[in-house]
Structure 1
Amino acid sequence: MQRIAMISEHASPLASVGSVDSGGQNVYVAHLARQLGKSGYLVDVFTRRDKALLPDVVAFAPNVRVVHVPAGPAVFVPKEQLLSFMPAFGDSMVDFMRRDAIGYDVLHANFFMSGVAAMRAREVLDIPLVMTFHALGKVRRLHQGSADGFPDNRFEIEDELVRHADRVVAECPQDLDDLATLYGGDPERIDIVPCGFDEEEFAPLDRAEARRALDWDADVFTVLQLGRLVPRKGIDNVIRAIGHLRRDFRIPARLYVVGGNAEQPSVEATPEIGRLQGVADEAGVSDCVTFVGRRRRSQLCHFYSASDVFVTTPWYEPFGITPVEAMACGVPVVGADVGGIRSTVVDGETGYLVPPHAPEALADRLARLAGDRALARRMGAAGLQRAHANYTWMSVARTMEQVYARVMRAERPARRVAA
């Protein structure tokens, strides 16, 4: 049985998705590891110990364990402040591998800081490295400017990882293009492997029943925004679009925003809610924008299925799992024409693509769907078909297995990355 060491320094598969620093990467690591385990691989997920009482090793799924690695204080630390702990993370991971006499066939690092730790293990133990970035520092800086809290040496580290990892995984065509143009990555050494959705978690439910379960109005045109509540997700753009929808198109829409750092929405737990409430007040829609709070993944299918349309308009999105989950629930998606959303949402077929900072354009597309429910149903059905054809975790894992097979067959010289 082949053994995979999956490294995810800040994104544990055990974390509550939707809270601070917990989002798509957590979902990706959890589901890819679980699916690989189902396929017979032995998978250890190495993540930083952020609580003192966490056990060293946790059984997560059949053939899958989570290993809590000591590196820095055993408390939550924002991911932007974790880089200095990565050498210790790498050394502790090597110690674990040596102590347990476990031979790994592949190291799969997720995010650039995991790459730093993984390279230390690669140098000492001569294990091939597959690198998935999930987000690229140079692209993030272009979109966020001074709001980007990561240090500048992230760029140098990513440059070296692109050059020296045995294979690099891009999550979509735009990701591959960014790796090639901004980092000089060799397309021959880059594989495209998307993210996916869990067929047991996400499937269409009857809309009327889903709305009754959530105590939503049965007839109001309802828009859903779901995910982490951070500025780059563009939720303010969605709120302003609801204002245009009501004023310019006379459509009494309602917006539900699911996500945050606690189940009960509050500014204290999730400061971004305060900013967004201010946006809603300015747009004159505070009466029809509801902040729901964080919800368990087992509950999300009801929110997707109860909605007339799912909207996500971030400035930057390396892939974006939520549009795929919405499509898997048979819901049309209106998404920003950026990153991975550009490849998952087919404009005019499974929904619409719009510019990321254009609430008027977003309102126009929402008005089309509100005015033509048959069109919305056709788009939802097309999205459901597309999700199953391209984005199940089983198909994602099968593609990743091919990447692992390539690196295990290839010869590899020793390499070093900056720390």
Structure 2
Amino acid sequence: MRIERLAQALSARGHDVELVTYHLAEERGQFDFPVHRIYGRLEIGSLPPGPTLAKLALWDPTLARLCARRLDERGFDVIHAHHFEGLLAAAWGRRGHSVPLVYDAHTMLAGELPAYGQSWLRRAAVSLGRCLDGWIPRLADHMIVVTDDIAQQLADRHGFDPRRITVVRNGVEVASFAPGGKPPAAARPELLVYTGTLAPYQGIDLLLQAFAQALAQRPRLRLRLLVSSSFDPFMPMAQRLGIAHALEVIRENFETVPALMAEAGIALLPRVDCPGLPQKLLNYMASGRAIVAFAGSAKLVEHEVNGLVVPNHDTDAFAQAIVRLADDPALAARLGRNAHRFVVETSTWEKAAERCERVYAGLLGIGRPVESRPAEPSSLLPLPLANAGASQAVERAPLTSVR
């Protein structure tokens, strides 16, 4: 989502944008800029989160060659590379060219890699992730990161110059969600909602445990899961907890998610380890839902102001927060209105594009925003996010993912 929306926002501001990405997409879509895919074709399919043999051995080298070919064919001003595999492909592809390379860090591998392997490999995965976090960004001329904590980790733990790091938070499609942050008449205080992937790092097991505790206290509660993959792996757990009858599982679609989300009174964020910024959090805020979140992913949530924040892994506290909001619709409405107001004032894709422009201008030695140049607009080449879980997928595979 970040890749597609930034590219759209930059294109709308007059820049000449091209996108180089994978061949997979969940749907066909129309863009106002050229999209170049590896193998020269589009295939309908899902891109799994995490590193895979196909990505590392086949797709990423092909992506690097495609990047190199586009650089040979056109004189781009900036390469904007998303996530680690995008940066590696771009670094290889720009050999022989002096074009500046911007690395867009969506997360930190020390926090993400352990989620993709067996539990006994966790310590090794953390160590490997920290090594990669300290090495790979050095291939870029500047770093754009989605949160302050990623910037702090890169500077404090890995020794990067803070002047080479700029925070550019995600935006959100405010107009696509419930206007005004006020729950519509159809909202049901007892209906809870979760949107996004079912990847291990999302904390779905904690979500189900907390919901079971809340359901035991308020049997009228229902949990709606708007997800991008099959719920079958979690069904045995739901049955064991005795909550299967209270679940509503719907395959997500960007066109239908806002309306389905708006019917719920409470939105849930069970992730406990999130160096980046979950796109679902911004979507929840834009829709005006009251939010219950573990502290690890509550990056923009101020407790008792625009949501409720509970300690990581504390499913009892999570359940009690759910019960509190379900019993007090007025509190839920107030938190939702405040959340909506927050994203309207701070988190649009145009604001994100403006911040990116200032980075480009500095790298190009322009001294003022790229958009203000009277000459031809700058050419930007965003590269794909190769490793992520999508909160909402429209046309995209590597384009899809928002944490």
State the TM-score bracket (shorter-chain normalisation).
0.7 to 0.9
> What residue in structure 1 maps to residue 171 of structure 2?
196
Q: Pick from 246, 253, 258 the counterpart of residue 296 of structure 1.
A: 253
C-alpha deviations, 1:133-171, integer Å up to 9, x for none?
322222224566636898987655543332231111111
Within the candidate set 281, 290, 297, 1:332 is matched to: 290
- Would you say 1:91 and 2:47 are equivalent positions? no
**Counterpart amino acid of 2:215?**
R
Q: Percent identity?
A: 22
Change (3 A) 1:173 1:306: same
Could you say if the C-alpha distance between residues 240 and 312 of structure 1 is closer, same or farther in structure 2, counting changes exceeding 3 Å?
same
Choose which of 205, 208, 229 in structure 2 pairs with 1:239: 208
Assess if the C-alpha contact under 8 Å between 2:182 and 2:336 holds in 1: no
Deviations 1:183-232 (A, max 9, x none): 33222211111111113322338755656xxxxxxx56010000012221
The within-5 A match list for 1:314-325 is 314-317=271-274, 318-325=276-283
The amino acid across from 2:281 in the alignment is P
Matched, 1:230 2:199: yes
Specify the SS of the correspondent of 1:353. strand
| Structure with greater contact order relative to length (CA < 8 Å, sep ≥ 6) | 2
Q: Return the alpha-carbon distance in structure 2 between the equivalents of residues 332 and 77 of structure 1.
A: 31
Unaligned 5+ residue runs, structure 2? 367-403
Classify 1:329/1:234 alpha carbon distance in 2 versus 1 (closer, same or farther; 3 Å): same
Decide whether the 8 Å contact of 2:292 with 2:307 is kept in 1: yes
Q: 1:361 offset after TM fit, Å? A: 1.0
Change (3 A) 1:386 1:50: closer
Tell whether the 8 Å contact from 2:189 to 2:265 is kept in structure 1 after alignment: no
**Structure 2 counterpart of 1:132, one-letter code:** D
Contact 1:70/1:89, CA 8 A, preserved across alignment: no
- Distance 1:184-1:115 versus aligned 2 partners, 3 A rule: same
Q: 235, 241, 247: which one pairs with 1:277? A: 235
- SS of structure 1 residue aligned to 2:103: strand
Gaps of 5+ in 1: 1-26, 212-218, 262-269, 411-419
Among 270, 283, 294, the alignment partner of 1:313 is: 270
Give the Å deviation of 1:397. Answer: 1.2
Q: CA deviation at 1:48?
A: 2.1
CA shift for structure 1 position 121: 2.9
Measure, in 2, the Cα distance between the counterparts of 1:356 and 1:279: 20
Letter in 2 for 1:167: H
Looking at structure 1, the residues matched to 288 and 259 of structure 2 have their Cα atoms a distance apart, in angstroms, of: 12
1:287 aligns with 2:245: yes
Selected match of 2:38 from 60, 63, 69: 69
CA distance in 2, matches of 1:173, 1:83: 29
Residues 13-412 of structure 1 mapped to structure 2, 5 A cutoff: 27-50=1-24, 60-62=30-32, 64-70=33-39, 78=48, 79-81=51-53, 82-85=55-58, 86-98=60-72, 101-141=73-113, 146=118, 156-204=131-179, 207=183, 219=188, 221-247=190-216, 249-261=217-229, 270=230, 273-293=231-251, 295-317=252-274, 318-338=276-296, 341-409=297-365
Determine the C-alpha separation between the residues in 2 that align with 1:59 and 1:300: 17
Counterpart-to-counterpart distance in 2, 1:194 and 1:358: 28
Distance in 2, Cα, partners of 1:342 & 1:76? 27
Measure, in 1, the Cα distance between the counterparts of 2:344 and 2:289.
13
The CA RMSD over aligned residues, in Å, is 3.0
Q: Distance in 2 between matches of 1:304 and 1:76?
A: 23
Contact 1:369 1:375 in 2 (8 A): yes
Most deviating of 368-377 and 141-150: 141-150
- Deviation, 1:252, is 2.1
Q: In structure 1, what is the Cα distance between the partners aligned to 2:289 and 2:24?
A: 37
Does structure 2 conserve the Cα–Cα contact (< 8 Å) formed by 1:129 and 1:407?
no
Size of the alignment, in residue pairs? Answer: 355
Cα pair 2:189 2:326 within 8 Å, conserved: no
